[in-house]
Amino acid sequence: MKKTILLWLFIPLFSACDLEEIPDGVTTTAVKFEIWFGNTGEIEENGSAVIELAEGGYVVVGYQEQSVNQNNEGLIVKFKADGDVVWNKRAKLGSYATFSAVQRTADNGFVAVGTAYMSAAAQNDVFLCKFDQNGSLSYSKNIAGPLGADYGSDVLVLNDGFLILGNTTGNSDNQILVIKTDFNGNVLDSKTYGGAGEDRAVKFIKTQDNGYAIVGNTSSFGAGQNDMYLCKLSSTLALSWQKSFGTATEDNGSDLVEAKDGSFILVGQKANGNAPDIFIVKADKNGNKLWEKSYGTPFYDYGNGVALSSDGNILLCGTKGDNNDLRVFIMQLDEAGNQKWERLFSRYYGTDIKATKDGGIIVTGARNNPIDNEEDVYLIKTDKEGNVL
């Protein structure tokens, strides 16, 4: 069954745990659907991240953009397990805002992190919002970093607060930023990491040894313009080690996951002439490369998300094609990085992927709406083989 629904939404301005691996022994039949939703007219919506809820259903965050005035607002949407929308909300501070990550909190609410443009003088700040279980805004905060312009990339829920991953940028400097807050969003500590070049973080995870692993890109420590970057932090946020992977040109990291044996699987992009290829690296628990693979076409191939199934297979999502026909893909690799299958979906972007409790796969991103030619949030739920039919 394919369930393709366009929901016309008038989104009201409001008055912890990533499931990277599905449980062993799952035998249930996966629900399948393919939906997109958004406003009509010159308004775009994009999905940046998705989580599955323990009771069933999903939450997606991203942003809504009005094409006329570029007035972005952070967007959070809760879905039922069958893809029906439960509620959706927007939030912003300053001129515009976006969400890039979301997690479930212990009170069954949600914490979302992204970026807010406060003013021309203040530039960008890290944007932190807490929502209750019904999507009502509990609070929103902008957090300024040390260098001027700051961006929020990811968030983790800890026992005593939130840990935020981001980037802080000055005149010719870009460093990785990690901020610790309490549950009310008050800053308790912050750290920066990087070298003399440009260093950016995209995603992080809590590791089995209670430390943290970060993926992104670096020009400080790599072999060329930019390399895929992996670093490990201790539980106290001290830098344990850092590694780079790539070529002498442009390579980037987008997402990572930790395997049961403590190794890391990273996905991103690798330079290949004028068009990038999907780039996958497996590193041991100390960051030493075990293998790398690249997959591509003569056109553009972007690896944006990675997850693991319960049987150890690697799940990827991203975007591929030429500029006139970019499409969402889901790909499965075996434990050695060899491709087992690939599925292509509609235009445009696949940004995040998770393995689900029923043995399936959930992906979010953005889809072209053929009615108004604007982007809508895209949510794809497949079985374990990537099928929606």
The string of pLDDT tens digits covering residues 302-318 is 999 999 998 999 999 99
DSSP for 255-318, please give it: EEEE-TTS-EEEEEEE--TTS-EEEEEEE-TTS-EEEEEEE--SSEEEEEEEEE-TTS-EEEEE
pLDDT, tens only, 124-182: 999 999 999 999 999 999 998 887 789 999 999 999 999 999 999 876 789 999 999 99
Q: Which helix or strand (DSSP H or E) is residue 97 part of?
A: strand 96-104
Q: Would you place residue 389 in the very low, low, confident or very high pLDDT band (cuts 50, 70, 90)? A: confident
Distance CA 223, CA 228 (A): 10
- CA-nearest of 214, 219, 217, 290 to 256 is 214
Mean pLDDT of the chain: 89
The count of C-alpha atoms lying within 13 angstroms of the C-alpha of 174, restricted to the half-sphere facing its C-beta, is 16
Specify the length of the chain in residues: 389
Cβ atoms of 232 and 207 closer than 8 Å: yes
pLDDT, tens only, 260-295: 999 999 999 998 888 899 999 999 999 999 999 999
Sign, CA torsion 61/62/65/70: positive
Distance CA 62, CA 46 (A): 5
Angle at 63 between CA 317 and CA 379, to 5 degrees: 40
Distance CA 166, CA 163 (A): 10
Q: What is the pLDDT averaged over residues 18-27?
A: 33
Distance CA 258, CA 266 (A): 9
Between residues 84 and 40, the one the model is more confident about: 84
pLDDT, tens only, 194-244: 998 899 999 999 999 999 999 999 999 977 789 999 999 999 999 999 999
Tokens of 68: 């006329």
* pLDDT higher than 80, residue 21: no
Between residues 239 and 28, the one the model is more confident about: 239
Residue carrying structure tokens 């199934």: 309
- DSSP state at residue 38: E
- DSSP state at residue 133: T
What's the distance, Cα to Cα, between the start and end of the chain in Å? 5
* pLDDT higher than 60, residue 49: yes
Q: Would you place residue 37 in the very low, low, confident or very high pLDDT band (cuts 50, 70, 90)? A: confident
- DSSP state at residue 323: T
Between residues 68 and 314, the one the model is more confident about: 314
pLDDT, tens only, 342-387: 999 988 899 999 999 999 999 999 998 777 778 899 999 999 999 9
pTM for the model stands at: 0.90
Distance CA 74, CA 384 (A): 31
Distance CA 60, CA 89 (A): 11
- Tell me which amino acid residue 12 is: P
Q: Which helix or strand (DSSP H or E) is residue 337 part of?
A: none
Name all domains of the chain by residue range, CATH numbers in brackets: 36-193 (2.120.10.10)
Cβ atoms of 142 and 148 closer than 8 Å: no
Distance CA 379, CA 8 (A): 15
- CA-nearest of 291, 289, 344, 290 to 316 is 344
Cross-strand partners of 292? 281
Distance CA 157, CA 166 (A): 15
What residues contact residue 84 under an 8 Å CB cut-off, 6+ apart?
A: none
Between residues 15 and 226, the one the model is more confident about: 226
Give pLDDT, residue 151. 95
pLDDT, tens only, 174-197: 999 999 999 999 999 999 999 988
